[in-house]
């Protein structure tokens, strides 16, 4: 079953094309990474999937339905979104941040409180952080709260825009591994934007390589590592391979 279909979508701003005509299918339950340099069109593609941006041409289908026919707020309440800059509300406590979507959906307070506890456990945060302000947390803890908030209303699709970019390497690796585990545990369809090609190859089932608004490749990490005829794709994939080879040489002494 297909979770997301991009059918010949493109996006232009003031006559400038930021996403060329793109067709892409993401199967239910897959973890897909969008990789490429700045200006590649990754975030634009991600925002088209939940209606934060409207395509200039083409259509977007989510679970078989054209999202243009659905009100934006209703659509987005069923799709979790983790922002690049975390985006927690600073005037709200952690539990209020996590419960904001269930509250908008009219969940009873007791049900929201139970869901907050469940999610704090799920993202490996102690329950005592619930009454703290986001400013009292570390960057890694804030990003875990962001993931919890995105999952609060039990969405089947999770979209993430550079979710680990501002974190130190150790925290980044730990959180990335936990997000992959959550994806598997909850049976999510996950689409993640990242500029870190190595991260994409290690985490994702499928990788979409983008450059200058074009989707140049859509394949499994194994297929991409085996080689690709497009030189832009080949160069991008070669970088983490070279790093791995150098580390292996250092380890051998």
Q: What is the pLDDT of residues 53-95, one digit of tens each?
A: 999 999 999 999 899 888 777 777 789 999 766 678 999 999 9
DSSP state of 168: -
Q: What is the pTM of this model?
A: 0.92
Tell me, what's the pLDDT at 79? 92
User: How many Cβ atoms sit within 10 Å of the Cβ of residue 241?
Assistant: 13
- pLDDT at position 152 is 94
DSSP codes of every residue in 180-227 = HHHHHHHT-EEEEEES-HHHHHHH-SEEEEEETTEEEEEE-HHHHHT-
The two three-digit tokens of residue 160, written as one number? 């993430």
Q: CB under 8 Å, gap of 24 or more: what pairs does 42-45 form? A: 42/193, 42/210, 43/84, 43/161, 43/193, 44/11, 44/18, 44/19, 44/213, 45/6, 45/19, 45/208, 45/210, 45/215
Contact 147, 176 (CB under 8 A): no
The pLDDT value given to residue 15: 84
- Low-confidence stretches of the chain (pLDDT < 70) are 84-86
Homologous superfamily (CATH) for 2-252: P-loop containing nucleotide triphosphate hydrolases (3.40.50.300)
**pLDDT (tens digit per residue) in 230-246:** 999 999 888 887 887 88
- pLDDT at position 250 is 82
Query: What is the C-alpha to C-alpha distance for residues 18 and 131, in angstroms, rounded to an integer?
Result: 42
Amino acid 242: pLDDT: 80
């Amino acid at each position: 079953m297909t979770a997301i279909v991009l059918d010949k979508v493109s996006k232009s701003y003031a006559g400038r094309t930021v996403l060329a005509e793109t067709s892409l299918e993401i199967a239910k339950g897959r973890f897909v990474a969008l990789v490429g340099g700045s200006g590649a069109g990754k975030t634009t593609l991600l925002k088209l999937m939940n209606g934060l941006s409207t395509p200039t041409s083409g259509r977007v289908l989510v679970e078989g339905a054209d999202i243009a026919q659905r009100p934006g707020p209703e659509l987005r309440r069923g799709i979790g979104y983790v922002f690049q800059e975390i985006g927690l509300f600073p005037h709200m406590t952690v539990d209020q941040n996590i419960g904001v979507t269930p509250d908008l959906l009219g969940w009873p307070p007791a049900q929201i409180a139970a869901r907050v506890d469940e999610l704090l456990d799920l993202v490996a945060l102690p329950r005592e952080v619930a009454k703290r302000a986001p400013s009292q947390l570390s960057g890694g803890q804030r990003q875990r709260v962001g993931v919890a908030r995105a999952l609060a209303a039990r969405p089947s699709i999770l979209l993430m825009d550079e979710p680990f970019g501002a974190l130190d390497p150790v925290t980044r690796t730990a959180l990335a591994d936990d997000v992959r585990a959550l994806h598997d545990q909850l049976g999510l369809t996950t689409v993640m934007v990242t500029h870190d090609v190595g991260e994409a190859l290690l985490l994702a089932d499928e990788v979409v390589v983008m450059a200058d608004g074009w989707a140049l490749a859509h394949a499994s990490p194994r297929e991409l590592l085996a080689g690709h005829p497009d030189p832009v794709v080949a160069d991008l994939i070669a970088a983490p391979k070279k790093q791995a080879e150098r580390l292996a040489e250092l380890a051998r002494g």
